[in-house]
Homo-oligomer: A and B are copies of this chain.
Amino acid sequence: MKKKNGIFKYERIERDIKDRIGKGELRPGDLVKSEAEMVQQFQVSKMTVKTAMNRLADEGVVVRIQGKGTFVAPCAKR
């Protein structure tokens, strides 16, 4: 995993999602962009997106459901 500007790439993605939740752009229950879309948006590998989203899932910020998508947790922390 490489850093850019002193932070890990996956931290940039985590930060972005949390910011959107903080601003109310993403609300509890909302569908978050898919892995494939994030790969495009952030110009990173699927593994980097996965690392970011799994960290957010571990923190309880999002819930990932196979075959359905990634959703903002019902009581998302930020």
A contacts, CB < 8 Å to B: 1, 45, 47, 58, 64-67
Contacts and interface: CB of A to CB of B under 8 A. Distances in A.
A63 to B, nearest CB: 10
Can you tell how many copies of this chain the complex includes? 4
Nearest to A45: B67
Contacts of A66: 1
B65 A1 contact: yes
Contacts of A47: 47
A39 to B, nearest CB: 13
Contacts of A1: 64-67
A45 B67 CA distance: 10
7 contacts: A1-B64, A1-B65, A1-B66, A1-B67, A45-B67, A47-B47, A58-B58
